[in-house]
Structure 1
């Protein structure tokens, strides 16, 4: 059975990476989600995709230059589907508190060694605090982040995000002891999928929004797919 993950919550239906988006995902009965993390200036894990604030809040500056207490007051509904009320940037702790997901894919973007280390340690501490160690996989396309995970939080599940085929993703995943491969769906051939699964990897493909493509990838045998429209995915794959 192909599992469904809500991409940044339910990105196609509510402002991405906001509490409303994750609640919408859960309303569809989808109990798995993917989200993006950046550290605030004071070391808090903030749920936002870009390193800058411009696209989702219309503000200037970087997430890393702002305090968490300020970031949570910024309205992050710009550029998404229409939404009547403000949707603040959430702390990861707030989502852990209010959303009962069975599994979380927490993506960490590329970072310097120092920043990667601080981010990994912050995730490790928060996951421990909420008792979610068996429900979290930390993913990244950055070798710096994956190395930090290996060294500083070896018992946290790791996943490689693979967008391009210029390096063999299976080899990279093996090098960093990954359990999950988050694969751009365009790289998902039946051969690569089979090889990855034989290697013991859970293969999660993204971002899959067309019903025909959802069915095709499910027929291939992908372990899970990440979608902006968890409701549509449930309706499309629900009777399989």
Structure 2
């Protein structure tokens, strides 16, 4: 059975990476989510994809220069889809407390090793606090982040996010002792999927919003799909 992960919650239905988006994913019957995290100025783990607020809030402010409280008062409906009430940037702790997902792909964006240590240690504390150690995989395209995760939180599973094939994604994932390989859907050829699975990797394809493509990737043998429309994926594949 191919599993479904809601991309940034349900990005196609509600403002991405917000509590509204994660609730929309759960309301669609999908119990797995992918989300992005960064570190605020006061070293809190906040849930946001971009390094700045331009796309989401029309502001030039950078996430790393804002406190968690400032981010929690920032309305991020600028990028759509339309939503009737303000949606703000949540702390990861808020999302973990409010959303009973059965599995989480937590993507850590590129950052310095010093900040990666702080961020990963903070995530590890939250996973312990909420009893999620066996329900989380820390994913990144950054070798610095993956290496730091190996050192700072070896008990948490890791995943490589691969958008390009110029470095062999399977070999790179093995180098960092990953259990998951999150491939851009365009990299999902049958041989690469099989090679990854033979190496013990769970293959997750992103971002898959077209029903025909969903069915094709299932035929190719991917283990999971990451989608902006979890309800559509569930209806297309017949299960969450």
**Same topology, TM > 0.5:** yes
> Compared with structure 1, are the counterparts of its residues 200 and 72 closer, same or farther at alpha carbon in structure 2 (3 Å cutoff)?
same
Aligned to 1:100: 100
Unaligned runs of 5+ in 2: none
1:239 Cα deviation (Å)?
A: 6.3
How far apart, CA to CA, are the structure 2 residues paired with 1:138 and 1:162? 14
> Compared with structure 1, are the counterparts of its residues 40 and 239 closer, same or farther at alpha carbon in structure 2 (3 Å cutoff)?
closer
How far apart, CA to CA, are the structure 1 residues paired with 2:49 and 2:186? 21
1:11-50 Cα deviation digits (max 9, x unpaired): 0010000000000000011000000001000110110000
Aligned to 2:47: 47
Alignment of 1:97-136 (within 5 A): 97-136=97-136
Aligned to 1:10: 10
1:184-206 Cα deviation digits (max 9, x unpaired): 01001000000100100000000
Aligned to 1:173: 173
1:61 Cα deviation (Å)?
A: 1.3
> Compared with structure 1, are the counterparts of its residues 173 and 86 closer, same or farther at alpha carbon in structure 2 (3 Å cutoff)?
same
1:69 Cα deviation (Å)?
A: 1.0
Instruction: Confirm or deny that 1:59 pairs with 2:49.
Output: no
How far apart, CA to CA, are the structure 2 residues paired with 1:132 and 1:187? 30
How far apart, CA to CA, are the structure 2 residues paired with 1:26 and 1:221? 25
Alignment of 1:151-170 (within 5 A): 151-170=151-170
TM-score, normalised via structure 2 length = 0.98
SS in 2 for 1:133: coil
Unaligned runs of 5+ in 1: none
1:144 Cα deviation (Å)?
A: 0.2
SS in 1 for 2:134: helix
How far apart, CA to CA, are the structure 2 residues paired with 1:154 and 1:223? 23
How far apart, CA to CA, are the structure 1 residues paired with 2:53 and 2:198? 41
Aligned to 1:70: 70
TM-score, normalised via structure 1 length = 0.98
Aligned to 1:210: 210
SS in 2 for 1:170: helix
Aligned residues: 240
